[in-house]
Amino acid sequence: MTTALKRILIACLIALPSFVHAADVPEVKTATPPQTTAPVPAEVASKPAPAAQTVRIGSVDIARIGAESERGKAFKTLLDRRKSALQGKIDGKKKALDKLKTSIEAKIATMTPKQREAKTKEFQKKLEELQKFAQASEEEFVSLQEKESKTFYDAIEQAATAYGNSNGFAAIVVKRELLYVGSSVEAQDVTEGLIKAMNQADQKK
């Protein structure tokens, strides 16, 4: 597949304290006693550390969207119909070629050398035409599949963007790419929500 949903990477920035090695600080000798550290006010000492902010990540099952959404069903139906139509034409041409072959084999014993040569050339030409048509049909189907796949994935991406913004998600990724989440991450399967969103969007068109 030349196209697919963009992989979303979340970079977690961790602020590290700055340390200074004791050897890097020159020693200062003084006769005066060192100044004692001022006591920390009680309200500051008792203030709790800020809680880590939870990040929401949604995951989607692309196969399920393709099987259950109206857009996915229409996509599959279109490809199945086109494939059947092309295969039907190929089968028809092959049947005609088989019929020609049978006819030639039945009469070849009574043909003159010139007639045999002519029938051989005719059969070879029909065979080449069938091969070219089959190749062209395959290329046509692959092109249609790639075009419709891109349209389908674009629709998923648009639905994911709208759904993520509306429901406070930091990212929505393909489910199989979600290998690990930390304790500060809330992961949720949003496949059902995207299917409903896509169906609603198609109904408005």
Distance (Å, rounded) from C-alpha 149 to C-alpha 62?
12
CA dihedral over 86, 88, 89, 95, signed as positive or negative:
positive
Q: Which burial class, exposed, middle or buried, applies to 152 when counting CB atoms under 10 A from its CB (0-12, 13-18, 19+)?
A: buried
- For residue range 80-116, what is the model confidence (pLDDT) as tens digits? 999 999 999 999 999 999 999 999 999 999 999 999 9
* pTM tops 0.85: no
Total domains in the fold of the chain: 1
- For residue range 32-90, what is the model confidence (pLDDT) as tens digits? 545 555 555 555 555 555 555 788 999 999 999 999 999 999 999 999 999 999 999 99
Q: Which domain holds residue 154?
A: 54-204
Q: Which burial class, exposed, middle or buried, applies to 194 when counting CB atoms under 10 A from its CB (0-12, 13-18, 19+)?
A: buried
Residue 185 in any domain: the answer is yes
Residue 36 in any domain: the answer is no
Distance (Å, rounded) from C-alpha 148 to C-alpha 152?
6
